[in-house]
Chains A and B, each alone.
Chain A
Amino acid sequence: KAGVTQTPRYLIKTRGQQVTLSCSPISGHRSVSWYQQTPGQGLQFLFEYFSETQRNKGNFPGRFSGRQFSNSRSEMNVSTLELGDSALYLCASSATSGGSGELFFGEGSRLTVL
């Protein structure tokens, strides 16, 4: 069974640009969550999608958005990038919604903003 796949693994952007990250969950999983990981803040929850609907949203500005497709694949977008957006963006899939079950994480997309 293939794990969670995130693309791209690494990317470099400049301030003001926008970026789109992709996540393919484990087959059969309908929940996809996104987390931002930085050395100072640890893992911060961005949002969760379940069956194409946003179920939960973390405390991030509107520049951070996401969506989920009918095949459960998810994308997140960050517009007008700032230096502070440099982080590892982790996607996790789960068979259930919310914090009721195990999250399976991908390897992450490491974003560097210059």
Chain B
Amino acid sequence: GESVGLHLPTLSVQEGDNSIINCAYSNSASDYFIWYKQESGKGPQFIIDIRSNMDKRQGQRVTVLLNKTVKHLSLQIAATQPGDSAVYFCAENGSVRNTPLVFGKGTRLSVIA
């Protein structure tokens, strides 16, 4: 079946450094991927998305990389700030049309000031 997982459950990064959060997915037919950020006590917030016809997409301080060969997704945060401390989830849409997003279990990012 479909599954979305993460390589590391927690990540501690020094303020100002770059952060890389990884995600593995099992469904090679998935064609849409999203990264969400969830701060304590809040609902998940959209960060960036990417479709399978792209390898890389950049936003403000964030970059998502998609490697379809090894079914790997990563989120890079440049110049990590204390406000980036949160749990980050990747999600994929699976292969069947109109199926819901499947979320990974999340990685907690802690920024050390």
Contacts and interface: CB of A to CB of B under 8 A. Distances in A.
Contact of A90 (B44, B98, B99): B44
B42 A103 contact: no
Chain A contact residues (Cβ within 8 angstroms of B): what range?
20 to 34
Contacts of B103: 35, 42-43
B99 A56 contact: yes
Interface string A55-95: 11010000000000000000000000000000000101000
**Chain B at the A interface: mostly helix, strand, loop or mixed?**
loop
A42 B106 contact: yes
Interface string B26-59: 0000001010100001111110010000000000
Given A42-B104, A43-B103, A100-B32, A4 B98 contact: no
A90 B43 contact: yes
Contacts of A100: 32, 93, 97-98
B83 interface: no
A104 B106 CA distance: 18
A103 B101 contact: yes
Interface in B77-109: 89, 91-94, 97-106
A52 interface: no
Contacts of B94: 99
A93 to B, nearest CB: 11
A105 B45 contact: yes
A25 interface: no
A103 B38 CA distance: 13
A102 B34 contact: yes
A22 to B, nearest CB: 15
Nearest to A6: B43
A107 B44 contact: no
Interface of B: 32, 34, 36, 41-46, 49, 89, 91-94, 97-106
Interface of A: 4, 33, 35, 41-43, 45, 48, 55-56, 58, 90, 92, 97-100, 102-108
27 contacts: A33-B101, A42-B103, A42-B104, A42-B106, A43-B44, A45-B102, A56-B98, A56-B100, A90-B44, A98-B97, A98-B98, A99-B93, A99-B99, A99-B100, A99-B102, A100-B32, A100-B97, A102-B46, A103-B44, A103-B101, A104-B46, A105-B36, A105-B43, A105-B44, A105-B45, A107-B41, A108-B43
